[in-house]
Chains A and B, each alone.
Chain A
Amino acid sequence: MPKSTTQPESAPRTPHPVVDNIPHRIEVGFKDGVKDPHGEKIRRMVASELSLSVHSVRTVEVYTLDMELTGSELKLLASGPFSDPVVQNYSIDSPLTDDFDWLVEVGLKPGVTDNVGRTALEAALFCIGRECPGGGKIYASRQYLFKGRLSRDDLQIAVDRLLANELIHCCEIVHRDFFDSKKGLKIVIPKVRGADNIEVEEIDLNVPEKMLLKISRERLLALGIDEMMAVKSNFNSPEIIAERKACGLSSLVTDVELEVLAQTWSEHCKHKIFNADIEYTDEKGRCRIINSLFDTYIKASTETIRKRLGERDWCVSVFKDNAGIIAWDEMNNLVFKVETHNSPSALDPYGGALTGIVGVNRDTLGTGKGAKLIFNTDVFCFASPFYNKALPPRILHPARIFEGVREGVEHGGNKSGIPTVNGSMVFDDRFLGKPLVYCGTGGIIPKKILGEPSEEKTARPGDCIVMTGGRIGKDGIHGATFSSEEFHEGSPVTAVQIGDPITQKRMSDFILEARDRGLYNCITDNGAGGLSSSVGEMALSSNGCEINLEDAPLKYSGLQPWEILLSEAQERMTFAVDPGSINDFLQLACEMGVEATTLGKFTDSGFFHVCYEGKTVAYLSMDFLHNGLPTMKLKAKWRSPLQDNPDFAEPEDLTGVLKKMLSRLNICSKEFVVRQYDHEVQGGSVVKPLCGLNNDGPSDAAVLRPVLESMKGVVVSHGICPRYSDIDAYHMMACAIDEALRNYLCVGGSLEGVAGLDNFCWCDPVASEKNPDGEYKLAQLVRANMALFDYTTAFSIPCISGKDSMKNDYVIGGHRISIPPTVLFSIIGRADDVRKAQTMDAKNAEDIVFLLGQTRDELGGSEYYAMSGFTGNSVPNVNAGEALKLYRALSTAIHRGLLKSCHDCSDGGLGVALAETAFSGGFGMEVDLRRVPVDGLDRNDSILFSETQSRFVVTVSPENKADFEKCMDGNIFAEIGIMLEKPVFLVNGLNAEIVVNADIGSLKEAWQRTLG
């Protein structure tokens, strides 16, 4: 078996013997008179968010070079790749300037991924054209030079709140009076100092239960007592002891084995709660046993739908791979996966979100034989960025989390060249303890690759185990187990990682070429659990593997064997490569600048066998590893919570109320965020996130054309409505599915070929002393699953992939913050001809405004009630039968081109949907609430803001009116108004008086102001 490591390409070398003193420091800043937008942005944020008065902030990029260089080489680098001669100055081994009151330098802590430093080293090696003894290393940091009357405390606040995160950055704050203008700051090299001793620990599990739990806790294993006992009894079996002896192991479990088991058995990887035996008691005291929520509701729904579809079944691969696959056109299938990255984003919002997006990219990339990535989606749940109460310990301010997450997804998506086409933001202060960061990625894959179905892949005995991409460091160790716990004092900082989109982009380019040349048999990504998980899962098909950890490429020395195996260092994929193809595989990787290393082979031994320098360090039977986990047994008890029923009179000024509704965080424009994401790279954008007269209206869903020669479209949408969980998570789930489907239909998505993804984020549903209402939270989970089954089968939306994150709680001291149970339901499907797609903005004056669907007294959990501090009890119920009939009719009308616009009614109800339709289109509108088909509503505000589901606001040109009405025949719908040339928004109330009268410009202004 070939064992080799390839290095990325670099310039040919010429000998260059001159040696200089190291390290060196190159500083780069903007010339006088050149605007420094980053510095200016920091100055604005310091002024607005910290209320500190700062005269100016300038930035300086610093490169610390731990390599031997001559004076002329240093000059070549400083004046070449490191600075821009037109706008920047540089200095070498001396400070660029001492013109400041305070200097703050922010660098990365040892071991944190330094993308700029890595690129700087690559560029430097090109320039000097020679080898560097020891390889050399460049570290990037940034200085902020402040001018203004500030105290050290002020600076410390700015550092803590805006400039640095103590988990990943090191910081130095210096006043001008204490700054050496000749020598500058003392150079610190953030080199990782690993352990000197590499050792494999053995752990004695023949100890009392209490000690077993202590082992689990202290090692961050997140295993419960039943699980620890299962491990213990496995290792005490005489047969196992004999097998272990044969390969040189004692009867004690090694740290490597314990870590592998903890990761493989983590909630994150095994979904223990979704697979538990649950005793569910409903409100009437009736009890039933549910053996696995996943099997009973999710899998069963998909199977039911597939059976019913028969020949038409469009599912290709569900629940088994990294992501689900559905059929799309004659030649291609679609892949879609959504993940969450909540816990890491709570610790380091930028790094957490960045790794979230590049991580889910790898999931889709590694699905089937490998898919090309065509879109990203992102949905964030935060506390209000304007939160102004004291923050509990270790929690970052929501504004900081918002900006960090936004920027992380920006860099992850934009730099990978994948358009971010769909997303949303939900605000609720219960997301203070853990923000939710959902990242999704879609891909396209040819149905056949070299004549074989692309969804099939297997690692065969004898295949080489090959890892490509980034190197392994201590980053992300315990990510899988960490995310399976609540956020507590001991949450490990090593769980924080920074993604490197460019290393991953290079690898993606390589994978698609290697795929089409048939250079590998199987592929999967390295995510949670690292090599342990990726190799462990692939080894299921061959039934065993043998890994040589000492061959793994490391970022720095000093990693323990278990750390190498478990590290979640980013940008890595694992392959099974036939020995006959290994040379071609490694050569192609080398050419394309991708590091690839053979780490062992797949076997049929039945064992997960890991060696380090020739010695066995783990020997676990595949069967025990994957099937040894005891099933959890849990109880769930449902009681319907009784919320306050609101008792306020109808407000007199409904115009003012409408404006207030439009400016609410959950409704207002998110344009500021959307614009910072590239939503049209790859050239197939059809319905963008923003539409309308001024390209600023809120699109309901995305349409894109991944094959530029074809008019066939991919449609992507989602639904999310956590507030309804306060009344009943059953209806929360039903509404999320309905909302996703409505959005999908609005732009012209086809009911044929549609599929769903369920991403559950829950608060801990396992009852314990510190979590007394666990049984209720589990009952909420059960009910959400029941709704998932009921509505996905009713609408024929098979779920093809999903994920759950079950411990979204923050517990420190006596403080517990739990998120509201939240499901993101994402939809992917097709549009047979994108030219028939529709958008939500009104297109013409005189067009007729229709409301489709009935409006009921369903204000429970609505934005309108929330605005007055109420929840209510009348949560929206979805009538699937009526809805589906309406959806079929609407779909036909859109495909016949009978509509001029189509917008769904969701948060804020009819009032908000009407206003958005009008101001996005740039036309006035007059509607009459007496014409709205209602059931049991007699107040103007209730009709305007009820959140009854399955409704749409559509506009139709007068000439299509008759055809449209005929098409909708048999459904509840009504003509409620007309579009106007004059830019006024008029609502006639139930008593024939005008209840809303506003200029559309003022409505739009209210809608855009909040996050503008």
Chain B
Amino acid sequence: MKKVKAIVITGNGTNCEMETAHACRLGGADDVEIVHICKLLSGEKKLDDYHFLNLPGGFLDGDDLGSAKANAARLRYARTSRGLTLFDQICRFIQEGKLILGICNGFQLLVKLGLIPSLNSSFSQDATLTFNDSGRFEDRWVYLRINEKSPCVFTKGLKNLYLPVRHGEGKFALTSEKVLQDLKKRNLIAVQYSDENCETPVMKYPLNPNGSVEAIAGICDETGRVFGMMPHAEAYLHYTNHPRWTREILPVEGLGVALFRNGIEYIRKNL
């Protein structure tokens, strides 16, 4: 059987690389490498050598121009020693049927690069993640409802999640109502902030921590292989991560692992 190789990109303010790599290992990846982005730019490492690209959380370039904006410019314009930009390499990565998971800052990056939702493979920016309605960064756990009809390979078979959000710019917004209708129609809204039973999407703070339209917490592209979400799946890998583990009976494995396992099993079957 083929070995699944995951890459976790770090550098310039990314800070969840360690637990993201741990999640990939728990999810069954055979080879997991944390790679500083400078090694991709210098050509010392190349994306082609991996199947699963992780864009973890953090504060890329301090989010100084808005979340992930400066890094989006880096990926789009900085040429690697191989000539292509990293953006070109990522597009090729997607076309080869490989998987990308962006969490929090990584989700912001995917959206601002136009890689999701990328309706009709347009790679144009139709959505964004902007400042929370509260005007504040917040760390709080949220209930999430999964859209079982979504093509998202990461959420297959899952119904709900409970994970922390830790962001100041997580409010999902779209260019138009039409884009929203398209997202709904094609079931690209994979994860929504919900009530405590993980049944009904909610707009009410703090269950919906940022005021996202349609309570959107995560979306995928039409292939289902490129997926981003604000809540930190890699922050709930063990039951002692749960904020109430001293008072509730919980499975040893945290709910976040399943997302990674889904991605890795897909790769094992399809690539």
Contact = CB atoms under 8 A, between A and B. Distances in A.
Contacts of A692: 244, 247
Interface stretch (A201-209, A215-223, A390-398, A672-680): A672-680
Interface stretch (A118-126, A154-162, A271-279, A655-663): A118-126
Contact of B244 (A120, A678, A693): A693
B38 A592 contact: yes
Interface in B167-183: 173-175
Contacts of A843: 246-247
A733 B55 CA distance: 47
A82 B65 contact: yes
A539 B255 CA distance: 52
In terms of DSSP, what is the predominant structure of the interface of chain A? Answer: loop
In terms of DSSP, what is the predominant structure of the interface of chain B? Answer: mixed
Nearest to A42: B135
- Among A676, A685, A690, chain B packs the most CB atoms within 10 A around the CB of A685
Interface string B111-140: 010000000000001111011111111111
A85 interface: yes
Given A81-B70, A686-B240, A415 B112 contact: no
Contacts of B62: 115-116, 119, 415, 500-502
Given A502-B62, A681-B166, A685-B241, A37 B19 contact: no
- Among A417, A418, A513, A693, chain B packs the most CB atoms within 10 A around the CB of A417
A513 B10 CA distance: 13
B29 to A, nearest CB: 15
B36 A509 contact: yes
A834 interface: yes
A35 B12 CA distance: 29
Contacts of B36: 509, 513, 592
A692 B245 CA distance: 10
Contacts of B11: 506, 509, 592-593
Contacts of B234: 683
Contact of A688 (B15, B18, B211, B243): B243
Interface in A582-619: 591-593
B140 A695 contact: yes
A82 to B, nearest CB: 6
A692 to B, nearest CB: 8
A808 interface: no
A500 B13 CA distance: 11
A80 interface: yes
Contacts of A34: 130, 173
A40 interface: yes
Q: How large is the interface on B (under 10, 10 to 19, 20 to 34, 35 or more residues)?
A: 35 or more
A414 interface: yes
Contacts of A115: 62, 64
A505 interface: yes
Interface string B83-124: 000000000000000000000000000001000000000000
A681 B66 contact: no
A431 B12 CA distance: 37
A126 to B, nearest CB: 4
A289 interface: no
Given A11-B77, A675-B140, A679-B139, A37 B133 contact: yes
Contacts of B3: none
A86 interface: yes
A708 interface: yes
A35 B128 CA distance: 14
A114 to B, nearest CB: 10
B149 interface: no
B140 A683 contact: no
B59 interface: yes
A676 B19 CA distance: 21
A847 to B, nearest CB: 11
B267 interface: no
Interface string B179-202: 000000000000000000000000
Nearest to A671: B140
A831 to B, nearest CB: 11
A838 interface: yes
Contact of B241 (A676, A683, A841): A683
A584 B76 CA distance: 29
Q: How large is the interface on A (under 10, 10 to 19, 20 to 34, 35 or more residues)?
A: 35 or more
A120 B61 CA distance: 10
A86 B174 contact: yes
A414 B137 contact: yes
B57 A116 contact: no
A776 B226 CA distance: 68
A678 B137 CA distance: 9
Contacts of A414: 59, 137, 166
A415 B73 contact: no
Contact of B42 (A84, A591, A693, A708): A591
Contacts of B59: 414-415, 417, 501-502
B247 A80 contact: no
A123 B11 CA distance: 15
A509 B35 CA distance: 11
Interface in A115-153: 115-116, 118-120, 122-123, 126-127, 129, 140
A127 B73 contact: yes
B237 interface: yes
Contacts of B127: 86
B266 interface: no
B69 interface: yes
A345 interface: no
Interface in A21-43: 34-35, 37-38, 40-41
A677 B139 contact: yes
Contact of A693 (B12, B22, B61, B247): B247
Contacts of A505: 12-13, 15
B207 interface: no
Contacts of B12: 502, 505-506, 593
Contacts of B134: 37
Nearest to B241: A685
Given A123-B61, A681-B15, A690-B243, A708 B22 contact: yes
B57 to A, nearest CB: 7
A682 B19 contact: yes
B139 A675 contact: yes
B235 interface: yes
Contacts of B65: 81-82, 116, 119-120, 123
A40 B78 contact: no
A417 B74 contact: no
A637 to B, nearest CB: 49
A590 to B, nearest CB: 9
Contacts of A593: 11-12, 38
B203 interface: no
Contact of A86 (B79, B141, B175): B175
B164 interface: yes
A38 B41 CA distance: 35
A873 interface: no
Contacts of B38: 9, 591-593
A522 interface: no
Contacts of A683: 16, 18-19, 22, 234-235, 237, 241
Interface string A63-91: 00000000000000000111011110000
A410 interface: yes
A115 to B, nearest CB: 6
A11 B70 contact: no
A837 B246 contact: yes
Contact of A38 (B78, B128, B135, B238): B135
Contacts of B41: 9
Given A35-B131, A592-B11, A683-B234, 19 more contacts: A11-B77, A34-B130, A35-B211, A85-B128, A86-B125, A87-B173, A119-B70, A122-B74, A123-B70, A123-B74, A126-B73, A140-B64, A506-B12, A593-B11, A680-B232, A681-B16, A683-B235, A834-B240, A843-B247
13 contacts: A34-B130, A84-B66, A85-B125, A416-B15, A417-B16, A675-B138, A680-B164, A680-B232, A681-B57, A681-B235, A705-B240, A839-B247, A841-B247
